[in-house]
Chain A
Amino acid sequence: MSSSNWAREALAVLAKDIRSEYRTRYAFSAVLLFAVTALAVVSFSVSPYSLDADVQAAFLWIVLFFSAMTGLSRSFVREEESRTAMSLRLTTAPEAVYMGKLLFNIALQAAVAAVVVPLFLVLMDIAPTHPGLLAWATILGTLALASSSTIIAAIVSRANAKGAIFAVLAFPVTLPGLSSAIRATTAALRGEAGSGLGLVAGVAGPAGAAGDLRSLAAYTVLMIASSLLLFDFVWDD
């Protein structure tokens, strides 16, 4: 199969998922409502206290992590539940299915993050010291969350207890990415002496945060590459 064909198939899977998501808006509204609820609980319970940057960063990523856990497993479970997995298996190459689902999960998680992060800043009354760094940490953290949960979602959709074990399976695998994202976010929220950031020119931030962003990117690439190699064994058994 030629590579352009492969990319076209992946985009077709993405377009199909977006269209069916647009018709029901099930996953997006469920995830968004969950995220806003979790955010409200956090904000409501800690609003009398002024928290440290590391606690705020941890809260933000706990909300984003569990939102991902509620929404991203749907991508494959839906195919199994509506019995469309078999026809997808017959018509599309496994790698194209994986890439399509990955892109859809990235889009979904990015949409959630685009709502949650500004809302978080408003509700917790935070003025981030390094907004650029916060944006990069959010973007790369979203990619890391989506890349690790897509392959886990594929595994879980083939198991019996679909909802219960998703977070259990995803947490240990996601943790390296999650901890880097939390550290980078902490650096972005805390007022530390700014210096040039090696990775992305034009974004000021503490020097240590560059390493965190780099390890986040490396983790994402590692996850996507190994998922592409392993996906075939999960999908076609």
Chain B
Amino acid sequence: MCARMSRLFAALKWLLGVWMTVVIVAAFFYAPAAQNLGQMSRIIYFHIPAAWVSVLAFAVCTAYSVRYLGNRRTQDDAAASFSAELGLLFCVIATVSGSIFAKATWGSYWNWDPRETSIFVLLLIYGAYFALRSSVDDPARRGSLAAVYGVLAFITVPLLVFVAPRIPAVQSLHPDGPILATGGGLDMDRRMMTVFISSLIGFTGLYGWVFSLRLRTWRFITALANRQEG
């Protein structure tokens, strides 16, 4: 069973490589450019999946944190921190790509648009999470403090990511018409939609793959350290 599972995962890894290649090529050559934004609209195949993964990674981090507080297994704490690492990476990608897009369309790299504010706060949370981790020596205490902070921050993230940009008084320039239109209506071109959804799946798969790599490496190193001690 286990061997078959690992063979399946090995096959999925190659599939992911092919999938991402096809998505990248399709994003530039298959999907048409949007009417108003032109060629710049191709950012949605990379920027939004990265932002999605950074939020997803944070949710996974919180889930592992809650589990760690319940059972105090070192592995869950390690998994939470690995997920946060990946989330930080994707958050930086989303911030930088969005900033370049902002320069191209609005004329400045950064102007505290509500979206930019919320992703900046997400970056701050990830930064604070690792600052807290690095300032505690005892592993058990580090795990529980980081887990509590992770859960606490996760409670406030919905307020920032979903509520703050929706405040009618604040005019956002962020073009979320085609994706997050009111009522969830998706009025995208069919080919654009296909590439976009495929890219979301690909990025999520990429996250899952690197996460499992990280976790397996950690397990291996821990087992090795235990054997050397024993």
B-binding residues in A (CB < 8 A): 151-152, 155, 158-161, 164-165, 168-169, 171-173, 175-176, 179, 183, 208, 215, 219, 222, 226-227, 230, 233-234, 237
Question: Judging by beta carbons under 8 Å apart, are B156 and A160 in contact?
Answer: no
4 closest residue pairs by CB, A with B:
A176-B159, A161-B135, A172-B125, A159-B135
CB-nearest residue of chain B to A171: B124
Interface majority SS (helix, strand, loop, mixed), chain B = helix
Question: Judging by beta carbons under 8 Å apart, are A219 and B131 in contact?
Answer: no
Question: Judging by beta carbons under 8 Å apart, are B140 and A169 in contact?
Answer: no
Candidates B128, B141, B164; contact of A169 at CB < 8 Å: B128
B149 contacts across to A, CB distance below 8 A = 152, 155, 169
Query: Count of A-B contacts with CB under 8 A?
Result: 77
Question: Judging by beta carbons under 8 Å apart, are B127 and A168 in contact?
Answer: yes
Question: Judging by beta carbons under 8 Å apart, are B156 and A175 in contact?
Answer: yes
B145: CB under 8 A from chain A?
Answer: yes
Candidates A176, A183, A237; contact of B156 at CB < 8 Å: A176
- Beyond contacts A171-B128, A226-B152, A237-B140: 13 other A-B pairs, Cβ-Cβ < 8 A, are A151-B148, A165-B131, A168-B124, A169-B131, A173-B125, A173-B152, A175-B160, A208-B169, A215-B163, A233-B69, A234-B144, A237-B144, A237-B145
B229: CB under 8 A from chain A?
Answer: no
Candidates B127, B148, B160; contact of A176 at CB < 8 Å: B160
A226 contacts across to B, CB distance below 8 A = 151-152, 155
B224: CB under 8 A from chain A?
Answer: no
B181: CB under 8 A from chain A?
Answer: no
Question: Judging by beta carbons under 8 Å apart, are A159 and B147 in contact?
Answer: no
Question: Judging by beta carbons under 8 Å apart, are B141 and A158 in contact?
Answer: yes
- Number of residues from B at the complex interface, CB < 8 A: 28
**Distance (Å) between the CB of B157 and the closest chain A CB?**
9
A175 contacts across to B, CB distance below 8 A = 121, 156, 160
Indicate whether A169 sits within 8 Å of B132 (C-beta atoms), given known contacts A159-B145, A175-B121, A233-B148.
Answer: yes
**Distance (Å) between the CB of B91 and the closest chain A CB?**
12
Q: In the complex, A219→B148 CA distance in Å?
A: 18
Interface flags, B129-170, vs A, CB<8A=1, else 0: 001100111001100110111011101100110011000010
Q: In the complex, A151→B136 CA distance in Å?
A: 17
Q: Return 14 A-B CB contacts under 8 Å, by A number.
A: A155-B149, A168-B131, A169-B132, A172-B156, A173-B156, A175-B156, A175-B160, A176-B156, A215-B163, A230-B69, A230-B148, A230-B151, A233-B147, A234-B144
CB-nearest residue of chain A to B141: A237
Indicate whether A234 sits within 8 Å of B148 (C-beta atoms), given known contacts A176-B164, A219-B159.
Answer: yes
Q: In the complex, A165→B145 CA distance in Å?
A: 13
**Distance (Å) between the CB of A65 and the closest chain B CB?**
14
Question: Judging by beta carbons under 8 Å apart, are B164 and A179 in contact?
Answer: yes
Q: In the complex, A61→B44 CA distance in Å?
A: 37
Question: Judging by beta carbons under 8 Å apart, are A172 and B141 in contact?
Answer: no
Question: Judging by beta carbons under 8 Å apart, are A165 and B159 in contact?
Answer: no
A234 contacts across to B, CB distance below 8 A = 144-145, 148
B131 contacts across to A, CB distance below 8 A = 165, 168-169
